[in-house]
Structure 1
Amino acid sequence: MASSKKPHQQNSAFLKHQAISSSDLSAHPLSVQLNQFLTHQLQTRRSKPNLLLALSGGLDSMVLLHLLAAASAKLPFQLHAMHVHHGLSPNADSWAEFCQLQCQQLNVPLQVVHVQLNINNGLGVEAEARALRYQALFAAQNIDFVMTAHHQDDQAETLLLQLFRGAGVKGLASMAAVDTGRNLLRPLLNVPRQTLQDYAVQHEITWCEDESNDNTQYDRNFVRHALMPVLEARFEGVKTVLARTASHMAEANDLLETLAAQDAEAVLEDNTLCLEGLAKLSLPRIKNLLRWWFAQNGLSMPAADYLNEIAAQLLNAKKDADLNLVMQHLILRKYQQRAYLCEDKPAAAFDLVWDGEPFLDLPSGGRLVFNQVLGKGLSLKLGMTKLRITNRDGGERFKPNPLRPTRTLKYLLQEINMPPWKRQYLPLIYWEDKLACVPGIGIAYGLEASGDEAGLEIIWQE
């Protein structure tokens, strides 16, 4: 642990916290900045939203804890804190105890969450710990915003690390002060670490020092301790400049996101991509749209070479060529000049009975919804109180139109351009051993309601 004035050994006793009144804190520029930030972010929320602070016990999060505790006396929010116990350090228990003590003194509810790292998953200790930390934070119940104490120095380091990894515009944008997609707030992102340390010294705030922060085997620590001092000696204010560059990249990324959304309106329908329309775009716009589409479906960005390969296969594949590219938890497939992102799950065989329920969940996912209507759907005058629901067995024949001959179900599914992999999930509705309804195709001739007849509309929700 360290005090605000001088580092102590990790096994030192905790320094006594000296309480600071909210009036002492409110006039400080950091308090003014935080209050303005919170006022802007909270105005669209419910009357008293719940804020969850990620509290490591280090300098940054301890300063933010004190600032937020003071702000909660003036602004309408309820402050909570969470300490994620990774168990990586022999001092981990002491850090958790320290956080509990500090939160008790400030009347802030604290939750300590223990996580277990999987060091064999290939992510590395830093990335795995970060992933588990965010997982715990976002799993918290009844929380409107998660807050972290990332500051300007962190932003500058992140930009350099992303640059060394060959990141594109999105990666170089680094961290956002407001991550609306996750309701994640970083109110100190434009504040230098030295300002936080000066504040801690002035207000006699104590904090913990993680000994691993000095280990330059970790990339971020190498940038912080070995590289950044050299850059600062040569380029004055380099951290501020790097953080400003990240801000420029964020603006550029917003423009690219807007462009991708506009392109998606022209070539994306029901989450499927029209390849003919895609081919009319330039290659940079194609890759930009693919990144956007993948992100919309919860996929992390593929490496640059793989993205180029995906674009090439989508553009150059023959019309009837199969495409099966693994994209993490999804598979990228192609059918009839359209590209699909599909779940990789086998279709479970099912044989169900509908007995009047408003909906029926299917074993392979999705559901059938049953609505009573007039003049369409299965005619209820035939006494259809029970229906059999099953998937395809092969060889089925169906006649939905009196003016057309009976066709094989395979022919009819090809006619409506249903992709082959979707057909295995297709539920078929039977009445008295007769194929009565095929979602997407229609009702068997002779079984449909007409005029003012009561009917049963069956909708397949995939």
Structure 2
Amino acid sequence: MKMHKNYSDLLEMLIEKWPSDFDGHLHYTVGLSGGVDSVVLAHLMAKACQIKPIHLSAIHVNHGISENSDRWEDFCKKLCINLKIPLTVARLKIVKTPGEGLENTARIERYNEYSKLKNSIIVLAHHQDDLIETMLIQLARGSDIHNIAAMNEIMTKSNQIYWRPLLNLDKSEIMNFANTNNLQHIEDESNTNNAYLRNFLRNQIIPKLVHFDPFIKKKFLNSLVSIQKNTALTDEYLKNDLNSCLSENKTLLIEKFAKLTLLRQQALLAYFIKSENLPLPSQRQLEEFRLQILNAAPDRHPSLLLGSQKKIIRIKSQIAITDI
């Protein structure tokens, strides 16, 4: 693997990967936590401004969870002043959502802040290690295949475009670049807390797997690419099922839904939720809901929460996604 140690190498990679679909988009906003990944990305995007005719800004979401949150915010402010990047700071007070871990609740609220920047492409610093960790987390949770393959380089969620240009780099390469170029960054003390599943995988499990097989990360990534391709192919068929079951009110008609085979019903429920850019419940939860909507009495309205703001519910002869 080629190691990108200087700005010219990594900047060349960034410019080459710049999606042609983004031509005409002038405003880009870096999601800046202050950690090494987002700091490297902010520096690269600032350099890209000298080449591409774009307007660049950053957003820092202060979750207010750590006692160091304000210090991290100050670091991001100083960094953006040095890079001559306008910075938006969103200060939150995270309230743990029932059924959600603190980490996932913070992530949901962070994306809610991103979604407010409608005229800008949100640029995020996820890398290969994040891909692998996310895949393993979703497998451990018994998630739907769409969740396993959810992290793509370009994604649209709630009409907001997200771009992850560093997905072909691993963490060690990003660290190497930061150290070589003396880029300062903050360290989130929670990253060493193995009570969080992601940290446990990152700090304990994956290093042991790599020791057992030095090529295992590459194998994970190959499997993920295969999953993503098969998911995309399946979605092409599910789009037809969705259109055939969809009412004029954008709800699913139970009469038509019930005529589908079991596998297509299960897949269509997940696709219906995914088409609204909402978080997918576990396969167990989806299956319980499927049985409820088909077997419940007409006056019953079984429902399932989709994050903190939406739910999927049976209303008479239809399946709808509504506000909670």
Superposition TM-score tier, normalisation by shorter sequence:
0.7 to 0.9
C-alpha distance 265-107 of structure 1, shift in aligned 2 (>3 A)? same
| Offset, 1:272 | 4.0
Contact conserved, 2:293 with 2:314, CA < 8 A, in 1?
no
2:184 maps to 206
1:401 maps to none
Choose between structure 1 and 2: higher helix proportion.
2
SS at match of 2:110: helix
RMSD: 2.4
TM-score calculated relative to the size of structure 2: 0.87
1:304 maps to 283
Distance 1:112 1:38 in 2: 26
Larger radius of gyration: 1
* Per-residue deviation, residues 1-36 of structure 1 (Å, max 9, x unmatched): xxxxxxxxxxxxxxxxxxxxxxx72x31x2122112
| Offset, 1:114 | 1.1
1:187 maps to 165
Q: State whether structure 2 residue 75 is matched by structure 1 residue 98.
A: yes
C-alpha distance 201-260 of structure 1, shift in aligned 2 (>3 A)? same
| Offset, 1:334 | 3.0
Q: State whether structure 2 residue 272 is matched by structure 1 residue 290.
A: no
Q: State whether structure 2 residue 103 is matched by structure 1 residue 132.
A: no
C-alpha distance 281-326 of structure 1, shift in aligned 2 (>3 A)? closer
1:176 to 134, 152, 156: 152
Q: State whether structure 2 residue 227 is matched by structure 1 residue 249.
A: yes
C-alpha distance 159-272 of structure 1, shift in aligned 2 (>3 A)? closer
| Offset, 1:316 | 5.5
| Offset, 1:188 | 0.6
C-alpha distance 289-107 of structure 1, shift in aligned 2 (>3 A)? same
Percent identity over the alignment is 32
Contact conserved, 2:292 with 2:302, CA < 8 A, in 1?
no
- Unaligned runs of 5+ residues in structure 2 are 1-5, 306-310
1:333 maps to 315
Contact conserved, 2:32 with 2:59, CA < 8 A, in 1?
yes
| Offset, 1:59 | 0.8
Distance 1:240 1:223 in 2: 16
| Offset, 1:275 | 4.1
* Per-residue deviation, residues 103-160 of structure 1 (Å, max 9, x unmatched): 11111111222111113644222112212222222223x5321111011011111111
Q: State whether structure 2 residue 127 is matched by structure 1 residue 145.
A: no
1:386 maps to none
2:200 to 222, 230, 246: 222
2:57 to 80, 85, 91: 80
| Offset, 1:227 | 0.5
C-alpha distance 268-161 of structure 1, shift in aligned 2 (>3 A)? same
| Offset, 1:78 | 0.8
C-alpha distance 217-42 of structure 1, shift in aligned 2 (>3 A)? same
For 1:304-453, list aligned pairs within 5 A: 304-315=283-294, 321-328=298-305, 329-335=311-317, 339-341=318-320, 343=322
Q: State whether structure 2 residue 8 is matched by structure 1 residue 31.
A: no
| Offset, 1:183 | 0.3
| Offset, 1:72 | 0.8
Distance 1:94 1:77 in 2: 30
Contact conserved, 1:57 with 1:95, CA < 8 A, in 2?
yes
| Offset, 1:39 | 4.7
SS at match of 1:206: coil
AA of the residue aligned to 1:176: N
247-256 or 186-195, which deviates more: 247-256
AA of the residue aligned to 2:145: V
Distance 1:147 1:134 in 2: 12
Distance 1:193 1:342 in 2: 38
**How many pairs align?**
311
SS at match of 1:83: strand
**Higher-RCO chain (CA-CA 8 Å, sequence separation at least 6):** 2
Distance 1:32 1:332 in 2: 51
2:211 to 216, 220, 233: 233
Contact conserved, 2:312 with 2:321, CA < 8 A, in 1?
yes
AA of the residue aligned to 1:252: N
2:31 maps to 54
TM-score calculated relative to the size of structure 1: 0.62
AA of the residue aligned to 1:295: K
Distance 2:154 2:256 in 1: 34
Contact conserved, 2:90 with 2:113, CA < 8 A, in 1?
yes
1:155 maps to 131
| Offset, 1:314 | 4.8
1:261 maps to 239
* Per-residue deviation, residues 61-98 of structure 1 (Å, max 9, x unmatched): 11111110001111121110111112223322222222
1:354 maps to none
1:380 maps to none
Choose between structure 1 and 2: higher strand proportion.
1
SS at match of 2:105: helix
1:42 to 22, 46, 49: 22
Contact conserved, 1:155 with 1:174, CA < 8 A, in 2?
no
273-282 or 130-139, which deviates more: 273-282
Contact conserved, 1:84 with 1:133, CA < 8 A, in 2?
yes
* Per-residue deviation, residues 159-217 of structure 1 (Å, max 9, x unmatched): 11111111121111141110033301111112111111111122221111111111111
SS at match of 2:191: helix
